[in-house]
Structure 1
């Protein structure tokens, strides 16, 4: 069962996904599509402006037309550390590091900056997630690895 904090994350109306690719559909794309299906305002952030598949991409969080309530970071480790200062300045209520986007060093630095990120697979705790994601969430909870 997702924690209250995770539930509050998904109750937000506006999201930014940092690390969406213009070249391939990946986890970030899947999260984007599922949030849009749920009626959320979702912004794609990736260096270099432009659009792809009718989606506008913003280079930085500061260029978004509004401050998103929630931000999902879906970057590889080499790039994730470089986004921390921008996350701190964003004023977003919630930040989620998708699996593969964090390690202990990044989490320690995030805490030093006053951020309190959620970490792990954003799919598993999404309300009405697809069966496979709900199944993985159940397995994690059974073994005590659920989100707190």
Structure 2
């Protein structure tokens, strides 16, 4: 089976419905892409939930060591980790009850996609959430 991302119209609906975005691999370094993307999404009205075991707080939000440690609902799990590290993250996303597994631009893994889809999640791979949000619509605020 060859993976195919949802149509742009479906991605737009996903982003419109999303509030909480857990960002796995979010760096506390403002020079890193993960930080810049998460900061931009936060400025557009999304609640960013950092997932980084080495930080207490990022972008003014409490950071959690894993998805399992987040005590609230997760709409999108946005992943900034190398492709080979994504299958366990997909499994955690399923267990955490997330709705969407989103692997950032340059990240794709068929096994992770299968795990997430089997668990009922929508999967988006090799796309930048910031770019897609900018293309699909107005500020959430």
Q: Distance in 1 between matches of 2:54 and 2:95?
A: 20
Give the equivalent residue in structure 1 for 2:132: 125
Give the equivalent residue in structure 1 for 2:139: none
Q: Distance in 1 between matches of 2:10 and 2:92?
A: 22
Please list every run of 5 or more consecutive structure 1 residues that lacks an aligned counterpart in the other structure: 130-148
Structure whose CA Rg is larger: 1
Please list every run of 5 or more consecutive structure 2 residues that lacks an aligned counterpart in the other structure: 1-6, 137-141
Further displaced range: 17-26 or 31-40: 17-26
CA RMSD of aligned residues (A): 2.4
- The aligned length equals 128
Structure 1 residue runs of 4+, over 6 Å off? none
Q: Are residues 47 and 101 of structure 1, via their aligned partners in 2, closer, same or farther at CA, if it must alter by over 3 Å?
A: farther
Q: 2:12 aligns with which of 7, 10, 17?
A: 7
Q: Distance in 2 between matches of 1:28 and 1:6?
A: 20
Give the equivalent residue in structure 1 for 2:56: 50
Q: Deviations over 1:8-38 (max 9, x none)?
A: 2222122111111234632221221111111
Q: Deviations over 1:89-126 (max 9, x none)?
A: 12222221112332233323333444330112223211
**What pairs with 1:1-148 in structure 2 (closer than 5 Å)?**
3-11=8-16, 12-23=18-29, 25-52=31-58, 54-122=60-128, 123-127=130-134
CA contact (8 A) 2:99 2:122 kept: no
